Chain A
Amino acid sequence: MTLKLPKFDHSHAKRKVTSPWLRLLALGALVLTSSGCVTAKKGGTPGDPFEKPNRAFHSLNHKLDTILLKPVAEGYAKSVPAPVRKGVTNFFNNLGEINVIVNDLLQGKFEDGLDDFGRLLANSTLGLGGILDVATPMGLPRHEEDFGQTLAVWGFGQGAYLTVPILGPSTIRDEPGRLVASATNILFYVNERAITFPLGILSTINRRANLIDAIKEVDESALDRYIFVREAYLGDRNFLIYDGNPPLEDLFEDEFDFEFEEEEEQE
């Protein structure tokens, strides 16, 4: 089965949002009956209709991070040995594995779904509840799938870029993914705050600690932090949607080409 993926586009805002939910049903059915051929229109000009509120939330998030999360995460990274932190990361990845499996299946990637189910079993048992990633050396590497990617594979446009207070960069298409990720996480069904609350905090600190270098890179290279994060986020999402192999033409937008030719003629 070949999945023809829609062209990645920034045009979201101008896209009509009339039929998506109908299309969701129809396309979902298509994918599930394994024909799964989805094409979408080509993108237009980039847009960021919520830039103003996004910027406000971006700087709020940045301030909160600088004051609260960053110092804690840096302290955590310094005091907790790397193998322990790796174990923490593995543990939370394993809790998120059901989300990966569900989205493998929704995208028609049945082989990946089976592999990831194998990962879940191996890591939950031999891997001591997910602390050790024994599956990767067994030839079952981790896949990164979520519902935002599934919607993209189903042909949904990206929708406007969003900066969500506290939570950070997202798009309209990626937002429902939070619900799906929660609903597929066992912790969601544990009604014991004494367990879920500290685990939630640990997960947040650990995730931020894993991003120390990446965020430092942003702080050093960005001329405009908001735009840098936006473009990096959208690029990263596109990379994930295509499982690391975005179509060649996406790598160099037509708009760029035009100007290069103009420039080259002058040389």
Chain B
Amino acid sequence: MSNKIKVSSTQQVRKAAGQRLNYVSISVILLALTAYPLSVFSADESQAVVNRLQESLIASMKGGAKIGFAGRYEVLQPVVLETHRLKSIARVAIGRYWRDLSEQEQKTYLELFSRLSVSGYASRFWKFKGEHFEIVSEDTLKTGKKIIRSDLYLDDGDTIRLEYVLSEVGGEWKIINVIAKGISDLAIKRAEYTSIMSKDGFDTLLVKISETIEKLKNKHIEEETQA
């Protein structure tokens, strides 16, 4: 009798355990089902791109002078290449002159442009003093492009309003412009590049971009050699 009871109680325990397991697996499946469409189909996809960039910027800042410019460049490069539509940005920055470039020239220019973009981030986000990013809003333009507004909170309590413009190609959202406090990175580059192209030509543009990369690289060299 007591044996029987024992058996049935172990059976019950097993059964209960099985049920619990079922609940767990069902809830996991349900979670997965709800999470899947969220990440793939909803608006959060474009925000995820901005988040990914900003997380790497924080990582770059935290690496700081210790890992040096080269270290920060290494942290940022894959993320910047993945989150930005650099070819399009470079193409718009040089405006109508793009068509006049040979294939080799376009390649050289694109290569230099992406080095400039990564270097810009690596030199600007070089020191961590407790900054953090917060996404404020997301809007869709008439053309289908998205604007993600985000604030960068500085250590002294100030904030910098950043606006990321993203476009979607083949289901992938990528950044095509960054506007800081109303100042558009692409507008500046386009005005500069087209002016240099019209006055001095392509070689001068390449020289000037290379010089800027050098300047960005050496910006914090003193602190970095001390660290």
Contacts and interface: CB of A to CB of B under 8 A. Distances in A.
Interface string B84-108: 0001100110010000000000000
Contact of A235 (B176, B187, B209): B187
A222 B208 CA distance: 9
A263 B176 CA distance: 12
* A interface bracket (residues with beta carbon within 8 Å of B): 20 to 34
Contacts of B186: 256
B183 A232 contact: yes
Interface residues of B, number: 42
A4 B176 CA distance: 28
A192 interface: no
B75 interface: no
A221 to B, nearest CB: 7
A252 B179 CA distance: 10
Given A251-B184, A263-B87, A224 B195 contact: yes
Interface in B88-140: 88, 91-92, 95, 120, 123, 139
Nearest to B143: A257
Interface stretch (B28-36, B37-45, B47-55, B161-169): B161-169
A231 interface: yes
A222 B212 CA distance: 7
Interface in A233-263: 235-236, 238-240, 244, 246, 248-249, 251-253, 256-257, 259-260, 263
Interface in B176-227: 176-177, 179, 181-184, 186-188, 190-193, 195-196, 205, 208-209, 212, 215-216, 219
Contacts of A236: 181-183
A267 interface: yes
Given A235-B182, A251-B147, A251-B165, A227 B92 contact: no
Interface centre among A223, A228, A238, A239, by most B CB within 10 Å? Answer: A223
B177 A252 contact: yes
Given A239-B182, A252-B141, A263-B91, 14 more contacts: A220-B216, A220-B219, A222-B212, A224-B191, A224-B196, A230-B191, A235-B182, A235-B183, A236-B181, A239-B183, A251-B177, A252-B147, A259-B95, A264-B169
The 6 closest A-B pairs by CB, nearest first: A239-B182, A235-B183, A231-B188, A223-B208, A224-B192, A263-B88
26 contacts: A220-B123, A220-B212, A221-B216, A223-B196, A223-B209, A224-B191, A227-B188, A227-B195, A230-B191, A244-B182, A248-B139, A248-B141, A251-B179, A251-B184, A252-B145, A252-B147, A252-B177, A253-B187, A256-B177, A257-B143, A257-B145, A259-B95, A260-B88, A260-B92, A263-B88, A267-B87
Interface of B: 87-88, 91-92, 95, 120, 123, 139, 141-143, 145, 147, 161, 163, 165, 167, 169-170, 176-177, 179, 181-184, 186-188, 190-193, 195-196, 205, 208-209, 212, 215-216, 219
